[in-house]
Structure 1
Amino acid sequence: MSHTVDNHTAFTEVPVIDIGALVSADPDPTARRRVVDEIGAACRDIGFFYVTNHGVAPADSAEMFAAAKAFFELPLAAKMKIRLGGTTDQFRGFVPLGGEVTAGKTDWHECLDLQPKWGRDATSAAAVRALRDQHPLDDPEQWPSDLPWFRAVMMRSWDQMWALSARIAAGMALSLGLDEHFFAQFEGAELSDLRMVHYPPFSREAHPHAPDGVTIDQTELGFGAHVDYGFLAVLQQDGVGGLEVRNAGGEWIAAPHIPGTFLVNIGLMMQRWTNDRYQATWHRVQIPGTSDRYSIPFFFEPRFDAVVAPLPQCVDTDNPPRYEPCEFGPYVVDLFAKAYD
Structure 2
Amino acid sequence: MVQLNHSKGKILGLFLLVILLFICMLSSLMFGHTHYKLADLYSMVTSFNEHDLTHIVIWKERFPRMVIAVVTGASLAVAGMISQLLTRNPLGSPSVLGINSGSIFFIVIFVVLFKVSDLNIIVYFAFLGAIVAAILVYLLGSVNYSGTTSVKIILAGIAVNAMFVSFTQIILLMNQKGMNDVLFWMAGTISGRTLEMILAVMPLLLFSMIVTCFLGRSMDIYASGESIAKGLGQKVMVMKLALLILMVVLAGGSLAVIGNVGFVGLIIPHIAKTLVGNGYVWLTPYSILLGSIFLLVADICTRLINPPAEIPLGVITAFIGAPFFIYIAFKGGRMRG
Q: Which has the higher contact order (CA 8 A, sep 6+)?
A: 2
- Structure with a larger share of its residues in strand: 1
How does the TM-score come out when normalised to structure 1? 0.28
- Structure with a larger share of its residues in helix: 2
